[in-house]
Structure 1
Amino acid sequence: MFIILLIQLIKFVSTVDYDDNGYLVYCPCMGAPASFPVQKENLFLQKYLKWSEDIANRSKQFIKRNMSGGGFLGIHLRNGQDWVKACQHVKDSPTLFAAPQCVGYRNERGPLTESMCLPQKTEIIKQVKRVLKKLNGTKYVFVASDSNHMIDDLNSAVQRLEITAIRLQPANPHLDLAILAQANYFIGNCVSSYTAFVKRERDVKGLPSEFWSYPQRKKQKHEEL
């Protein structure tokens, strides 16, 4: 038995590599390395994950080149057609996908709602305005999305505040992740595992984040910035 384990260990070691900074690089890429969504006891592992030097440098260069002279709000909009269909199952799946990151693994922090999974355009704009109202020195809104970035809608909504909404072109989901992790503030989708990755990295760094339509707010007659 010992010999078998030793052989397996040798095979494993032969598949790993280290980058120039001494971080372990291992990616068999044959499937998820653990159960989905990330379990509470595994959240601490995020602090050991580091971006490649290429992605780290490109994200910093993008921020310096396109969002210099002020802070930025990062937002993730998950709104592709596949997601629209997935959100129809919210009522039957109270902890759908990565929802435990906000409602808890047993919904101990409240129920999952459809607006948390797929917020409407008006809800998104209102929440962005609320966040911008409490942030000082913010000049940009960086948008990452799998479909509709809402750039025109957002720019129209925050135009008089002299804030500009921008996106990454051409699309690069990994670079989007790295940029969102560096935002002064982040709004993401409670149900999305993409948002979850950003949220975990920001938690490690001690940076503030929140989710669309969570927690639920009491309706107000007037809500203007």
Structure 2
Amino acid sequence: MLTTFNNMVKIEQFPTKKTSVYFCCAFLLFSACSTVVCNANDSASDDDATEAVIIHEAEGRVKVGLAKEKPTWDPRGYILFCPCMGRFGNQAEHYVGTLAFAKALDRTLVLAPFRTYQNVGFEDYFLVEPLKQYHRVISMGDFMEYLAPQHWPVGKRRGYCYMQVNSESVCDLKAGNPFGPFWDGFHIDFDETLKFELPIYAQDGNLPQNKQIKAAWDERFPVDEHPVLALRGAPAPFPMLEVNRQIQQYFHWAPGIFAEAKGYMDQMFKGEKYVAIHLRTGIDWERACRDVAGIRRYMASPQCHELDKEATNREMCYPSVKHVLEHTRNALQKIGAKQLFIATDKHSYEEEFKRDLKSLKVSVHRLSSDLPMIDLVIMGEADFFIGNCVSSFSSFVKRYRDARNKPSTFWNRALDDPMTSIGEYVAYKRT
């Protein structure tokens, strides 16, 4: 609780395991920024102590929070990687697979930033703590600030490339964009590079296989000699392995992003049920889907069809306007929704929807294409979702919804298709 009296600030009851902390600070005596850090340790042990921080700034603003606990070195080793393939959807699939890989090797995963035209910190998009329920992780910023100076210092930084060991190809972790700018964002240069040909596709829960993967890596790169494995790319396949999809349940949105999306949802839907759809209609996507018919595995397509029974087709990849309108109308009627949200990279068919849904009195909404992360949140929270089977962007939404037992389907799939309609993974209720 924060109270003010007689030009004082009193911060009360920051509970630790055994004690509460009480502070007061005369803050109006200062006009410049200052910081006061206090530690309460009445009857608690050092392990139980909690630092409280009062940061008071100019213009009368006061920030209160808990001091950040400095990370300690993990003797089991670390994995760094560059999530440098494609846009967010591809990077997210690689992230899931890399978590499985880090767990298989029993090394702490350093949470690399996502890559747009710049580095965007993992914690800017997602909470870090929930991932620790799956495996040990640390943010890239914390690793470089607190651990790298002593344990991975300049002059002793190795990089590792997956390529034929005896090939003439050069292992250069910083060649090209986005690889160079990614590492430069943390002022990382490599003093030595090593090639490897080792298994990298870990399967969550497959203990025998993961044990073999760990043994191969430990033999080639023992942790006492190679405590930090900085990999040029992600040690994971695209499209991702289906067995790893359930790892998505540990990805929880950062409060800032979720709050911003919630503001849009409240404004648009006013608490009513809504259907969200994802359309890929840009010219690049149209070209990518032109000759897709007959291909068994195409980008993220394994998420919506059985590879040994059915090939990808154009309607899965680039559905006709007629099919989009009909499928969406059926979904709205099925759940009794009067609100439609459209996320798209180009053409939204908004006017077509308004004409087609006028008799149903459905309101049609979309946001700027400059807000893709907000689109992801809104699609993930919808009462029903229709995605693009081939798109990794849709795949992220589908995995998010599967983990929360929310119904979904895809273009050219039945609304109640047992393979796509209800998530098969552990349900999670947002608190």
Give the TM-score, by structure 2 length. 0.44
Please report how far the alpha carbon of residue 162 of structure 1 lies from its aligned counterpart in structure 2 after TM superposition.
1.2
Measured in 2, the distance between the counterparts of 1:20 and 1:122 equals 40
Per the alignment, residue 156 of structure 1 pairs with: 355
Q: Specify the SS of the correspondent of 1:181.
A: helix
Please report how far the alpha carbon of residue 159 of structure 1 lies from its aligned counterpart in structure 2 after TM superposition.
1.2
Question: Residue by residue, what CA displacement relative to the aligned partner does 1:159-182 show, whole Å, maximum 9, x if unpaired?
Answer: 121111110136311110011000
Quote the RMSD (CA, aligned, Å): 2.9
Question: Residue by residue, what CA displacement relative to the aligned partner does 1:43-87 show, whole Å, maximum 9, x if unpaired?
Answer: 111011111111111111111111114110000001111111111
Alignment of 1:83 onto 2:285: yes
Measured in 2, the distance between the counterparts of 1:74 and 1:165 equals 10
Measured in 2, the distance between the counterparts of 1:10 and 1:189 equals 32
Per the alignment, residue 74 of structure 1 pairs with: 276
Range with bigger deviation, 24-33 or 177-186: 24-33
Q: Which has the higher helix share?
A: 1
Per the alignment, residue 131 of structure 1 pairs with: 331
Per the alignment, residue 246 of structure 2 pairs with: 44
Q: Specify the SS of the correspondent of 1:125.
A: helix
Measured in 1, the distance between the counterparts of 2:79 and 2:321 equals 54
Q: Specify the SS of the correspondent of 1:88.
A: coil
Would the aligned equivalents of 1:124 and 1:212 in 2 still touch at CA under 8 Å?
yes
Pair 1:204–1:115, CA change in 2 (3 A): same
Pair 1:26–1:35, CA change in 2 (3 A): farther
Correspondences of 1:1-225 after superposition (within 5 Å): 6=75, 8-9=77-78, 22-23=129-130, 26=139, 31-32=233-234, 34-91=236-293, 93-104=295-306, 106-108=307-309, 110-136=310-336, 138-169=337-368, 171-215=370-414
Q: Which has the higher strand share?
A: 2
Please report how far the alpha carbon of residue 94 of structure 1 lies from its aligned counterpart in structure 2 after TM superposition.
2.1
Please report how far the alpha carbon of residue 134 of structure 1 lies from its aligned counterpart in structure 2 after TM superposition.
1.1
Structure 1 vs Structure 2: percent identity of aligned residues?
A: 30
Measured in 2, the distance between the counterparts of 1:162 and 1:56 equals 28
Measured in 1, the distance between the counterparts of 2:300 and 2:109 equals 33
Measured in 2, the distance between the counterparts of 1:10 and 1:38 equals 19
Measured in 2, the distance between the counterparts of 1:9 and 1:167 equals 42
Opposite residue 22 of structure 1, the aligned amino acid is E
Would the aligned equivalents of 1:78 and 1:147 in 2 still touch at CA under 8 Å?
yes
- Gap runs ≥5 in structure 2: 1-73, 81-106, 112-121, 131-136, 142-181, 183-231, 416-431
Measured in 1, the distance between the counterparts of 2:127 and 2:389 equals 35
Range with bigger deviation, 118-127 or 62-71: 62-71
Would the aligned equivalents of 1:74 and 1:143 in 2 still touch at CA under 8 Å?
yes
Would the aligned equivalents of 2:76 and 2:108 in 1 still touch at CA under 8 Å?
no
Aligned length: 209
Measured in 2, the distance between the counterparts of 1:10 and 1:27 equals 10
Please report how far the alpha carbon of residue 149 of structure 1 lies from its aligned counterpart in structure 2 after TM superposition.
1.0
Would the aligned equivalents of 1:95 and 1:107 in 2 still touch at CA under 8 Å?
no
Pair 1:26–1:99, CA change in 2 (3 A): farther
Pair 1:163–1:41, CA change in 2 (3 A): same
Range with bigger deviation, 16-25 or 127-136: 16-25
Would the aligned equivalents of 2:350 and 2:364 in 1 still touch at CA under 8 Å?
yes
- Gap runs ≥5 in structure 1: 217-225
Opposite residue 283 of structure 2, the aligned amino acid is Q
Q: Specify the SS of the correspondent of 1:153.
A: helix
Would the aligned equivalents of 1:100 and 1:107 in 2 still touch at CA under 8 Å?
no
Opposite residue 240 of structure 2, the aligned amino acid is V
Pair 1:15–1:135, CA change in 2 (3 A): closer
